[in-house]
Amino acid sequence: MSLAFSLERQVALSAVARACRLTSSVFNKLVKNETVTKDDKSPVTVGDYSAQAVVNTILSRAFPDDPIVGEEDASDLKSGTSETAQTLRKRITELANEALTADLAYGDVADWGLGPGQERTTEELLNAIDRGNHAGGPTGRMWTLDPIDGTKGFLRGEQYAVCLALIVNSRVELGVMGCPNLPHDLSKPDGPRGSIFVAVRGQGAEQRTLTLGDPKPLQLPHLPISELSFLESVEAAHSSHSFNDRVSSTLGITKPPTRMDSQAKYCALARGDGGAYLRMPTGVGYKEKIWDHASGSLLVTEAGGMITDGRGAPLDFGLGRTLGENFGIVAAGAEVHPLIIAAIKQVNEQKV
């Protein structure tokens, strides 16, 4: 008898590994005009688009009936007539095809449309990006993809993650995250780096190399308050640094926070770095996106930790493309999590 979701896990690992190779190589070659600004003023690069094209192409071949909730869409790319749009389309086609046609590697199956000779046209690749336009919702199977989470970190040469999760009836069942720049040891930022993380509900969490070898099970250690440090966003606009400071003082945490872009924070947490991830809103109105938290939330719970919103409510992945009214995110070891929720309440009460 095979384990639940074993095929999905193999396909997701293979897709994320290929996307990571693509994003790592594109970083060194990025030139002007390969990063554009979206309507919400956030950046997107040829790396984000090509990685979404690669992952969606593989998913669509392996699971043709599964909808995909992906961050990026190709409408501007398809309609653009400027020289920039034409250059972008050409680059995305080159990069995605380079990744899809690379030799079969560990775990790959040629039937997924991979390997030499499997080039796609620009139109096919742009349509693959748009397979990510699904609206989400409470029932059925769906994938959610963030082809580059932490695009700002990616552009700085710092942390980012390729994040893919399978949601079934609102529950995350499988999560894979590729973190090409994450140091194996956070205290040695110039040492070896790059890992892929995977979790399946009920089957635990593990860390592998970027070529999917050397699986290591992950278990969140119990860290006393004296050893805790908050993992938080680098971007002050994404989560309130000052609120975290106040929660930290309330709990008697003395270590400074560890700032890191993307869901790499969940990966660091799951392997015992930091001990807690706190993301409280900077204002009202922003709704967290499901692709920013789906894979990370399962990794943390499968490593023995807990995750809720800032009020202690479970994250709801069945509301569409966003987490709806969930307010902030708290992920931590099971012993520490309730203490953080209590400290947040205390800080909020002090405010009024």
Ligand X SMILES: Nc1ncnc2c1ncn2[C@@H]1O[C@H](COP(=O)(O)O)[C@@H](OP(=O)(O)O)[C@H]1O
C-alpha closest to that of 257 among 186, 338, 309: 186
* Distance, CA of 151 to CA of 264 (rounded, Å): 12
Residue 316's SS3 state is: coil
Say whether 98 counts as a known binding-site residue.
no
Residue at 323: amino acid letter: L
In the complex, minimum distance from the CB of residue 266 to ligand X, in angstroms, rounded to a whole number:
10
> Is the distance from CB of 72 to CB of 45 less than 8 angstroms?
no
Per CB under 6 A, the list member of 149, 158, 173, 302 interacting with ligand X is 149
Q: In this chain, which of 34, 108, 130, 292 binds ligand X, going by CB under 6 A?
A: 292
Q: Does 262 bind ligand X (CB under 6 A)?
A: yes
Contact 128, 122 (CB under 8 A): no
**146 is an annotated ligand-binding site residue:** yes
**Binding partner of residue 237 among ligand X, Mg ion, none, CB cut-off 5 to 8 Å per kind:** ligand X
Contact present, 72 and 57 (Cβ < 8 Å)? no
Taking the complex as a whole, the smallest distance from the CB of residue 108 to ligand X amounts, in Å, to: 26
Which of 151, 261, 301, 308 is flagged as catalytic?
151
With CB under 5 to 8 Å by kind, the binding choice for 158 among ligand X, Mg ion, none is none
158 binds ligand X (CB under 6 A): no
CA distance 310 to 276: 13
Rounded distance between C-alpha atoms, residue 326 and residue 317, angstroms: 10
Residue placing its CB nearer to ligand X in the complex, 42 or 169: 42
Tokens 């008697």 locate to 252
Q: Which does 233 bind (CB under 5 to 8 A by kind): ligand X, Mg ion, none?
A: ligand X
CB 117 within 8 Å of CB 103 = no
Residue 214 a catalytic site member: no
User: Does residue 346 touch ligand X according to CB under 6 A?
Assistant: no
289 DSSP β-pair partners:
322
Pick left, alpha or beta for residue 55 (phi over 0 → left; psi -120 to 50 → alpha; otherwise beta).
Answer: alpha
Q: Is 151 an active-site residue?
A: yes
Residue of 23, 45, 48, 273 with catalytic role:
48
Burial class (CB in 10 A: 0-12, 13-18, 19+), 213: exposed
Q: Which residues pair with 193 in a beta bridge?
A: 183
Using CB distances below 5 to 8 A depending on partner kind, what does residue 235 bind out of ligand X, Mg ion, none? ligand X
By the rule CB under 6 A, 309 interacts with ligand X:
no
Task: Determine if 237 is a binding residue for ligand X (CB under 6 A).
Answer: yes
CB nearer ligand X, residue 43 or residue 137:
43
Residue 149 annotated as lining a ligand binding site? yes
Residue closer to Mg ion (CB basis): 42 or 75 = 42
Q: Does 151 bind ligand X (CB under 6 A)?
A: yes
Could you list the active site residues? 48, 151
List residues near ligand X by CB under 6 A: 42, 71, 146, 149-151, 153, 233, 235, 237-238, 261-262, 286, 289, 292
